[in-house]
């Protein structure tokens, strides 16, 4: 490619990116066009001939931008989504320019060395055993999957079965024990692994969605043979943490492998005033955690952390041999893919950009903002907060004084109104038999003023629906 053309395009892209970012604070917190309108906008025959890059990039932006969610906006509280902060974004642009396929340390030593160092930083920040191996993967779904693959191989190896070589047909049964409200993507991982989404032993949970320790102990005590137990740091609705100390003791008494899904919640351990929530989870055997949620990296960034590095490597090794690892650490030995981008660069950049105290301050601020949101909303008659706001999640029940069907219908309409007005974005969920508004405070750009403005927008949408219904 001619460098003059590249220079012009990248300059234009940089200008466009900055303008896009600058417009986010006051842009509506919703896509401006519908899915159907975007399908129509993208409608075009397969290109027969090539086009100049400058032209097609400009066309792509024109087609796309009206249909983007305002996920980097300061009042975006949907799902649990970070804001792709500038340091991570800039590193990610360079990552594309460098075009490294990072599977192998001989091919690209810098990517391997960066992964190794960044992995150590993560273990230090999250205060996990420093001997753990860290795989850089796309998201917590795949981080959990990767950890559970290591778990599956290791619990079977201990009873004399080589799952990596011989698969699961004829293998001793592996019991999987988890809470009734484990995240839906954990079940995806179990499906990919041949462990089955339904073939699990569910442990009853309390009203925060957390496993009851007595029930966990009772359930696991009765099981024989290989066991994988899965606990949760950061329940999707309540933000709560399973009682790890009791769970870990009961799990390890049975020789079980204990995995922790800590997609966003594990970051509490990087924050001195929240770290108590995750106390005791350091004795687990593996942990899945996202970069693209609380660390604000670009998307496709998460970490599969495994105490037993050899079990991790056995599960993910590409070459079908168990040669001892050389001095070099090959990134592909710890993640499901061979060819992939250098994901660690953006994580390195975000950790450098925020620093240990910046991460702690951000997590602490988001948790305080979640409490502020809960307080403002619950001051309204008929609005109740269903969770203990220990972290960054707020589960809001509207119409607590109405009958359930009516309250649920009004809640759905309120959510639609909030999204349509676009001052802020919040989504819904069904939890404990009720429709709720779920507010997840996790964007680096959210200020206290954004919380107040959003609480007012949510309440005024709710009042409007109540009034329309009267």
List of residues contacting ligand PLP (CB under 6 A): 80, 139-141, 183, 185, 234, 236, 261, 263-264, 290, 302
Cα(270)–Cα(72) distance, integer angstroms: 23
List the structure tokens of 195.
């462990």
Q: Tell me the closest approach of the beta carbon of residue 181 to ligand PLP, in angstroms.
A: 10
Q: Tell me the closest approach of the beta carbon of residue 79 to ligand PLP, in angstroms.
A: 7
Q: Tell me the closest approach of the beta carbon of residue 238 to ligand PLP, in angstroms.
A: 11
List the structure tokens of 229.
């137990």
Query: Which residue, 233 or 359, has its beta carbon nearer to ligand PLP?
Result: 233
Query: Which residue, 78 or 139, has its beta carbon nearer to ligand PLP?
Result: 139
Cα(182)–Cα(232) distance, integer angstroms: 7
Query: Which residue, 141 or 369, has its beta carbon nearer to ligand PLP?
Result: 141
Q: Tell me the closest approach of the beta carbon of residue 263 to ligand PLP, in angstroms.
A: 3
User: Which residue minimizes CB distance to ligand PLP?
Assistant: 139
Over the Cα atoms of the chain, what is R_g? 23
Query: Which residue, 300 or 384, has its beta carbon nearer to ligand PLP?
Result: 300
Cβ-contact 65, 20 below 8 angstroms: yes
Give the end-to-end CA distance of the chain in Å, rounded to a whole number: 65
Query: Which residue, 31 or 234, has its beta carbon nearer to ligand PLP?
Result: 234
Cα(348)–Cα(17) distance, integer angstroms: 22
Query: Which residue, 426 or 459, has its beta carbon nearer to ligand PLP?
Result: 426
Cα(400)–Cα(406) distance, integer angstroms: 10
SS3 459: helix
Place of tokens 């300061």: 74
Q: Tell me the closest approach of the beta carbon of residue 465 to ligand PLP, in angstroms.
A: 28
Cα(375)–Cα(456) distance, integer angstroms: 12
Q: Tell me the closest approach of the beta carbon of residue 283 to ligand PLP, in angstroms.
A: 20
Q: Tell me the closest approach of the beta carbon of residue 423 to ligand PLP, in angstroms.
A: 25
13: buried, middle or exposed (CB in 10 Å: 19+, 13-18, 0-12)? middle
Nearest to 426 by CA among 418, 383, 271, 42: 418
Label the pairing between strands 393-398 and 434-440: antiparallel
Q: Tell me the closest approach of the beta carbon of residue 67 to ligand PLP, in angstroms.
A: 21
Query: Which residue, 437 or 459, has its beta carbon nearer to ligand PLP?
Result: 437
Instruction: State the DSSP string of 120-173.
Output: HHHHHHTT--TT-EEEEESSHHHHHHHHHHHHHHHHHHTTT--HHHH-STTPPP
Cα(75)–Cα(27) distance, integer angstroms: 10
Q: Tell me the closest approach of the beta carbon of residue 24 to ligand PLP, in angstroms.
A: 22
Query: Which residue, 104 or 146, has its beta carbon nearer to ligand PLP?
Result: 146
What values do phi and psi take at 227, rounded to 5?
Answer: -135, 135
Query: Which residue, 140 or 306, has its beta carbon nearer to ligand PLP?
Result: 140
């Amino acid at each position: 490619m001619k460098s003059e053309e590249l220079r012009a395009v990248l300059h234009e892209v940089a200008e466009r990116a900055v303008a896009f970012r600058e417009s986010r604070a006051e842009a509506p917190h919703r896509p401006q066009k519908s899915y159907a309108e975007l399908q129509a906008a993208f409608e075009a025959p397969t290109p027969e001939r090539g086009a100049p890059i400058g032209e097609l990039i400009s066309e792509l932006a024109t087609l796309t931008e009206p249909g983007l969610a305002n996920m980097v906006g300061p009042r975006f509280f949907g799902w649990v989504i970070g804001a792709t902060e500038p340091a991570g974004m800039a590193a990610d642009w360079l990552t594309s320019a460098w075009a490294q396929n990072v599977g192998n340390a001989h091919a690209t030593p810098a990517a391997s060395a960066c992964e190794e160092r960044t992995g150590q930083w993560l273990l230090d920040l999250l205060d996990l055993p420093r001997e753990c191996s860290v795989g850089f993967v796309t998201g917590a779904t795949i981080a959990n999957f990767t950890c559970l693959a290591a778990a599956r191989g290791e619990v079977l190896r201990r009873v004399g079965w080589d799952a990596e070589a011989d698969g699961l047909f004829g293998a001793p049964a592996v019991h999987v024990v988890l809470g009734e409200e484990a995240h839906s993507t954990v079940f995806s991982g179990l499906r990919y692994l041949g462990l089955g989404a339904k073939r699990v032993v569910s442990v009853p949970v309390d009203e925060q969605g957390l496993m009851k320790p007595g029930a966990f102990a009772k359930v696991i005590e009765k099981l024989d043979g290989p066991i994988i137990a899965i606990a949760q740091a950061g329940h999707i609705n309540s933000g709560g943490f399973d009682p790890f100390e009791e769970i870990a003791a009961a799990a390890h008494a049975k020789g079980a492998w204990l995995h922790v899904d800590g997609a966003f919640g594990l970051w509490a351990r990087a924050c001195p005033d929240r770290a108590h929530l995750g106390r005791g989870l350091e004795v687990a055997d593996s942990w899945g955690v996202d970069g693209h949620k609380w660390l604000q990296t670009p998307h496709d960034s998460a970490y599969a952390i495994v105490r037993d590095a050899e079990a991790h490597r056995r599960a993910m090794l590409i070459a079908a041999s168990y040669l001892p690892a050389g001095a070099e650490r090959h990134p592909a030995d710890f993640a499901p893919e061979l060819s992939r981008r250098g994901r660690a660069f953006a994580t390195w950049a975000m950790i450098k950009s925020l620093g240990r105290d910046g991460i702690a301050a951000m997590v602490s601020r988001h948790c305080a903002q979640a409490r502020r949101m809960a307080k403002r909303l619950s001051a309204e008659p008929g609005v109740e907060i269903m969770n203990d706001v220990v972290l960054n999640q707020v589960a809001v029940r509207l119409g607590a004084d109405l009958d359930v069907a009516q309250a649920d219908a009004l809640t759905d309409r309120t959510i639609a109104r909030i999204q349509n007005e676009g001052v802020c974005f919040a989504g819904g969920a069904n939890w404990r038999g009720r429709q709720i508004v779920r507010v997840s405070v996790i964007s680096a750009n959210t200020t206290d003023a954004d919380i107040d403005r959003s609480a007012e927008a949510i309440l005024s949408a709710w009042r409007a629906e109540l009034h329309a219904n009267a």
